[in-house]
Amino acid sequence: MGNFYNVPGVEFIYHSNIYYPDVRYKNRLFNYWDLENALYEQYIEEGNPRINSPACDDKQFRDWIADDPDTVYGYLDDWIMSLKEAEWEDRNLKGLLNDGEEILYYKFTGDYLWRECIISNGSDDITGALEDTLHRILDNGGTKDDVCKIMGAIIPSESEMKELEEFNEYISIDLGYVIPGLITEIMR
């Protein structure tokens, strides 16, 4: 596959039906042309000569990238942050993921929708994942409605809590939030 201009950790990903590859960095895919064009604009802004001019050939641009991989990393990291911010603005948990984490989808008794939480790759600590996800949502400006929509968690009224305790079919999370049922299915 190879790396983008020999920059470690930034790999080309070829798809069988597409001539130009995507670029993968930190498990995210980027459009090759978008990345190259952005870097080329920065190359020109720094006062370097344009490609195909008498003063520059394509090799000078490639060498500029290879000699300063931090420029590529910085650009991609900024891009990832803006994507995460946009995803979280849409209340998509992907916007709150860190490296080494994934979305765990689950269903619980009394609810037919797939709900979501953030969990460490390979972990089976669902209770810890529920609590961590609750705090991430709230710490990033999420509301009770966001928590309910994403996780299915609620803060039950006193009478609702008595009913849940009677059948012992709930999962206590934190801050008074509970999943009002038992998890019946999970999917990664």
Chain segment 66-122, per-residue pLDDT in tens: 888 998 998 888 887 777 666 666 677 888 888 899 999 999 988 878 899 999 999
Same-domain check for residues 110 and 60: no
Two structure tokens written together for 146: 């966001």
The last residue of a domain, from among 50, 73, 89: 89
Give the chain's largest Cα–Cα span.
82
Report the mean per-residue pLDDT for the chain: 85
Q: Is the Cβ–Cβ distance between 29 and 11 less than 8 Å? A: no
Which residue, 121, 113, 109, is CA-closest to 150? 113
Contact 96, 136 (CB under 8 A): yes
- Does residue 106 sit in the same domain as residue 47? no
**Same-domain check for residues 109 and 175:** yes
> Mind listing the pLDDT tens digit for each residue in 16-43?
666 677 788 887 777 788 888 888 888 8
H or E element at residue 186 = strand 183-187
Residue whose C-alpha is closest to residue 84's, from 76, 98, 95: 95
Domain enclosing residue 136, as ranges: 93-187
Strand runs (DSSP E) across 20-138, as ranges? 22-25, 28-31, 101-108, 115-120
Closest C-alpha among 132, 188, 40, 163 to residue 180: 163
Query: 78 with 102, same domain?
Result: no
User: Which one of 41, 72, 89 terminates a domain?
Assistant: 89
12, 150, 167 from 2: Cα distances, Å:
6, 38, 57
